[in-house]
Homo-oligomer: A and B are copies of this chain.
């Protein structure tokens, strides 16, 4: 995986990168070599995992569930609504599919154990692209959830490139950390980036397009080399291990920040029947982006007062009682109003890419 100095591709510090071995058999397509031969090239690239009792190849896999329960989450990524192929490399897609699912497992306080991956791709998709997807998935798992394995999957032909991942975790005997346990007096804390993914996407929407507004691979690659937030958006690295640490430290509520801090904090407020008061001074230089930016897959958790915050968590606010009002999110004690939602398509009038 050493990068040669003549490598023309962007360095994207946070993103997985392709190596020369991936371009063998570049002309093979999924419909050309068939499903079985494609799977035979993908499967060896996937991690088997420490909790896999029976891996791919039979009607179903068997995974260890040491405490007699398992955590499960599923997430789709669809070409067009969820990604543009001019911007995301296949390796990015594998990495991001791992990241977005592993962070949901982490947000319950669980240790990720395994994933299954179903891919529906156009028949003319090159097998090399799917190998790169598998590489991104493997590298993402290795970094974010070492020991987690890919235990099964499915491969179909579809006009629309679609990725469906289901991920599993082990609670190690603890109660799952839900959204409804925050109590007045708790510290509100975040681990991971706030707004980096949205900032990267804004750059792509603004500058990663051609003169007609269509996603452009060359411009996106140049942007990515210049600004690490672009690579972060395309292949984020959420703090997966901090989910388990938060649960061990006694987190009272936790969730994955998919839709932005303001919206997701609102879910904790409503679930727990409390006010979540955020502190603007803790939200960095661009408070608006920190509040509204989605898809960082960072972790928002609440901790009893006085608990040392684990891992990468830092305090960003306080849980307060309703004082007669409705559950809501406030900033420095004032209502946030409509500042909340994050819509990744709000700037988007371009093609599919």
Taking Cβ atoms with an 8 Å cutoff, the residues of A that contact B are 53-54, 58-76, 78, 80-82, 104-105, 107-108, 110, 114, 116-118, 120, 151-154, 156-160, 162, 164, 166-169, 171, 176, 178-179, 254-256
Contacts and interface: CB of A to CB of B under 8 A. Distances in A.
B107 A72 contact: no
Contacts of A70: 62-63, 65, 70, 168
Given A54-B176, A116-B72, A158 B80 contact: yes
Contacts of A120: 76, 78, 160, 162
Nearest to A64: B69
A76 B151 contact: no
Contacts of A76: 118, 120, 154, 156, 164
Contacts of A64: 68-69
Contacts of A254: 59
B169 A74 contact: no
A72 B158 contact: no
B61 A72 contact: yes
Contacts of A256: 59
B118 A72 contact: no
A65 B62 contact: no
B62 A154 contact: no
A74 B117 CA distance: 8
A69 B59 contact: no
A267 to B, nearest CB: 9
Contact of A116 (B58, B59, B74): B74
Contacts of A164: 74, 76, 118, 154, 162, 164
A48 to B, nearest CB: 14
A108 B248 CA distance: 35
B179 A58 contact: yes
Contacts of A156: 76, 78, 81-82
The 9 A-B pairs of least Cβ separation, nearest first, read A65-B65, A164-B164, A60-B73, A59-B107, A160-B160, A166-B166, A59-B104, A74-B116, A78-B158
Nearest to A179: B58
A62 B173 CA distance: 12
A68 B71 contact: no
> Which of A53, A60, A70, A166 has the most C-beta atoms of chain B within 10 angstroms of its own C-beta?
A60
Contacts of A167: 60
Contact of A108 (B60, B117, B118): B60
A71 B62 contact: yes
Given A59-B256, A68-B64, A74 B110 contact: no
Contacts of A69: 53, 62-65
B110 A60 contact: yes
A337 B178 CA distance: 57
A158 B152 contact: no
A72 B75 CA distance: 16
B153 A81 contact: no
A171 B59 contact: no
A71 B81 contact: no
Given A59-B104, A66-B68, 7 more contacts: A54-B176, A63-B70, A65-B65, A72-B166, A74-B118, A76-B156, A81-B157
